[in-house]
């Protein structure tokens, strides 16, 4: 079968292929031939391997394993319409002789197109990518040649495994080139590491900064009061300190931009004294809105708003208004004393003038406020 191994310079193509071929030759007890792009160490693990000219591969016995390093020199891309050489054409019949070819090059497009189309299962194409210049590569395997093997995301269509550099293989051969690859961590990795470190630190600093701004408002207000008392003649110099211009500016800087009342200087006078609640909810023009007791719009989902319109909203934290009129109490009965019976001469009694109708009792302040809010809400939609 045909096996294609590709990868950039320094990706460990030759190193790993030597290991794969040797393991297979020992396991299956098969001879190995190579094209001489590397020099086996005399008496070493590869000393039994035979160096040949690729054009003569058909002269080798059946079952031979061929390792053709830098195969683009022996199987170059041919021009359009050029005849297929005999040694290339016969690769289509290598299987009947039980031979296997391991073809090593930087990219499959450097290989003869006729040969590329012969690669198929149980053969494969493996592309090696070195990880950060370390002695570790990702090995992506496909059943056929992938012409876009070097592109990002190519591993989605293949099987990816991590392969370490077999360092013991270095002692098996003398490479024709020096290994000059250096370990280098990409900038993206540094960026990710910096983000992992800096985000928690910046979050901690932000939280502590907000906490300090919140907690230092009261001491600054106390210092301002102490400074004023000192300027008016306070005798206790230990409790008097003049506020610096910087501290004064900081105390009047709003914590939330656009909301001056959030400045630390106003912490003592800006305490909440009222609870907002839906005092008025109305539906108009297929829209439901709720307003607070100060006629400000409440951010509320429509379902809740419609529920309040339908069933109302009970304010259980509001005390009854003290101005509401009390129920009239019945006057205690008066015990009458019996008097002697006297004869009374009937007299004409003039009819009393009709009394003027008493003025209606004034509404309580809550009712008046509710009426005013309803009027204000109605004016918004008019």
pLDDT of residue 290: 93
pLDDT of residue 333: 36
pLDDT of residue 363: 54
Considering the domain architecture, whether residues 89 and 114 belong to the same structural domain is answered as yes
Strand 50-51 relative to strand 124-130, pairing: unpaired
Number of domains forming the structure of the chain: 4
Considering the domain architecture, whether residues 102 and 154 belong to the same structural domain is answered as yes
d(CA 284, CA 28) in angstroms, rounded, equals 87
- What are phi and psi for residue 12, nearest 5 degrees? 85, 30
- What are phi and psi for residue 372, nearest 5 degrees? -65, -40
d(CA 357, CA 354) in angstroms, rounded, equals 9
- 128-160 pLDDT per residue, tens: 998 766 788 999 999 999 999 999 888 899 999
Q: Which domain holds residue 47?
A: 2-175
Q: Binning pLDDT at 50, 70 and 90, where does residue 370 land?
A: low
For the chain, what is the mean pLDDT?
79
User: Is 70 exceeded by the pLDDT of residue 218?
Assistant: no
Strand 280-284 relative to strand 287-291, pairing: antiparallel
User: Is 90 exceeded by the pLDDT of residue 182?
Assistant: no
Considering the domain architecture, whether residues 73 and 29 belong to the same structural domain is answered as yes
- 280-294 pLDDT per residue, tens: 998 888 889 999 988
pLDDT of residue 217: 53
- 53-105 pLDDT per residue, tens: 999 999 999 999 999 999 999 999 998 888 999 999 999 999 899 999 999 99
- 157-168 pLDDT per residue, tens: 999 999 989 999
Beta-carbon-side half-sphere exposure of residue 371 (alpha carbons within 13 Å): 6
Residue 243 lies in a domain: yes
Considering the domain architecture, whether residues 254 and 192 belong to the same structural domain is answered as no
Residue 362 lies in a domain: no
- Residue 288: which H helix or E strand, with range? strand 287-291
- Average pLDDT for 171-194: 62
pLDDT of residue 295: 87
Tell me which residue of 133, 135, 149, 129 sits closest to 186, measured CA to CA.
133
Tokens representing residue 293 in the block: 């007791």
Residue 322 lies in a domain: no
Tell me which residue of 224, 222, 217 sits closest to 255, measured CA to CA.
217
Q: Which of 296, 317, 338 is the last residue of a domain?
A: 317
The DSSP result for 1-35, as a single string, is -EEEEEE-TTS-HHHHHHHHHHHHHHHHT--EEE-
Considering the domain architecture, whether residues 76 and 113 belong to the same structural domain is answered as yes
- Percent of the chain scored above 90 by pLDDT? 43
Tell me which residue of 169, 178, 144, 172 sits closest to 158, measured CA to CA.
144
Residue 332 lies in a domain: no
pLDDT of residue 72: 96
Residue 266 lies in a domain: yes
Considering the domain architecture, whether residues 69 and 139 belong to the same structural domain is answered as yes
Considering the domain architecture, whether residues 163 and 247 belong to the same structural domain is answered as no
Strand 173-175 relative to strand 50-51, pairing: unpaired
CATH number at residue 20: 3.40.50.300
pLDDT of residue 318: 75
Considering the domain architecture, whether residues 143 and 288 belong to the same structural domain is answered as no
Tokens representing residue 11 in the block: 């990706």
- pTM as predicted: 0.49
User: Crossing angle of helices 217-231/187-215, nearest 10°?
Assistant: 40
Residue 300 lies in a domain: yes
- What are phi and psi for residue 90, nearest 5 degrees? -75, -10
Strand partners, 283: 288
User: Is 90 exceeded by the pLDDT of residue 125?
Assistant: yes
d(CA 334, CA 241) in angstroms, rounded, equals 73
Chain position carrying tokens 């809105």? 289
User: Is 60 exceeded by the pLDDT of residue 119?
Assistant: yes
Considering the domain architecture, whether residues 75 and 134 belong to the same structural domain is answered as yes
pLDDT of residue 153: 86
User: Is 50 exceeded by the pLDDT of residue 337?
Assistant: no
Tell me which residue of 63, 60, 61 sits closest to 52, measured CA to CA.
60
Tell me which residue of 292, 314, 289, 315 sits closest to 301, measured CA to CA.
289
Residue 341 lies in a domain: no
Our CA dihedral for 230, 231, 232, 237, rounded to 10 degrees, sits at: 20
User: Is 50 exceeded by the pLDDT of residue 47?
Assistant: yes
Considering the domain architecture, whether residues 205 and 237 belong to the same structural domain is answered as no
Tokens representing residue 295 in the block: 């006629």
Contact 365, 321 (CB under 8 A): yes
Q: Which of 271, 287, 308 is the last residue of a domain?
A: 271
The full length of the chain comes to: 382
pLDDT of residue 3: 97
| Strand runs labelled E in 43-169 | 50-51, 65-68, 100-104, 124-130, 136-142, 159-164
Q: Binning pLDDT at 50, 70 and 90, where does residue 5 land?
A: very high
Considering the domain architecture, whether residues 43 and 154 belong to the same structural domain is answered as yes
Residue 359 lies in a domain: no
Tell me which residue of 131, 160, 145 sits closest to 103, measured CA to CA.
145
Considering the domain architecture, whether residues 263 and 288 belong to the same structural domain is answered as no
């Amino acid at each position: 079968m045909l096996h294609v191994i590709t990868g950039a310079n320094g990706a460990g193509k030759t190193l790993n292929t030597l290991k794969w071929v040797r393991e297979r030759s020992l396991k299956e007890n098969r001879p190995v031939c190579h094209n001489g792009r590397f020099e086996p160490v005399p008496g070493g693990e590869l000393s039994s391997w035979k160096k040949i000219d690729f054009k003569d591969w058909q002269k080798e016995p059946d079952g031979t394993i061929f390792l053709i390093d830098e195969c683009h020199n022996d199987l170059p891309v041919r021009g359009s319409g050029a005849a297929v050489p005999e040694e290339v054409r016969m690769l289509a019949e290598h299987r009947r002789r039980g031979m296997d070819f391991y073809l090593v090059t930087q990219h499959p497009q450097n290989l003869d197109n006729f040969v590329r189309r012969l690669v198929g299962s149980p053969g494969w194409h493996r592309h090696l990518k070195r990880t950060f210049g370390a002695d570790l590569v990702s090995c992506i395997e496909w059943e056929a040649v992938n012409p876009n093997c070097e592109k990002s995301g190519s591993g989605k269509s293949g099987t990816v495994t991590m392969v370490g550099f077999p360092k013991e293989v270095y002692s098996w051969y003398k490479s024709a080139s020096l290994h000059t690859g250096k370990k280098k961590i990409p900038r993206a990795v540094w960026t990710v590491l910096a983000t992992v470190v800096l985000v928690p630190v910046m979050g901690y600093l932000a939280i502590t900064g907000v906490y300090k701004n919140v907690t230092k408002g009261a001491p600054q207000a106390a210092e301002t009061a102490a400074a004023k008392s000192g300027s008016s003649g306070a005798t206790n110099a230990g409790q008097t300190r003049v506020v610096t211009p910087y501290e004064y500016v900081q105390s009047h800087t709003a914590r939330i931009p656009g909301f001056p009342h959030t400045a630390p200087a106003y912490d003592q006078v800006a305490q909440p004294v009222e609870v907002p609640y839906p005092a008025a909810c109305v539906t108009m023009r297929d829209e439901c809105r709720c307003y607070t007791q100060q006629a400000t719009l409440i951010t509320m989902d429509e379902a809740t708003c419609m529920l309040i319109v339908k069933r109302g909203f009970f304010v259980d934290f509001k005390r009854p208004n003290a101005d509401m009129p009390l129920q009239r109490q019945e006057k205690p009965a008066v015990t009458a004393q019996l008097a002697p019976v006297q004869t009374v001469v009937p007299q004409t009694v003039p009819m009393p003038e009709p009394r003027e109708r008493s003025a209606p009792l004034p509404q309580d302040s809550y009712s008046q406020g509710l009426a005013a809010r309803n009027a204000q809400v109605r004016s918004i939609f008019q």
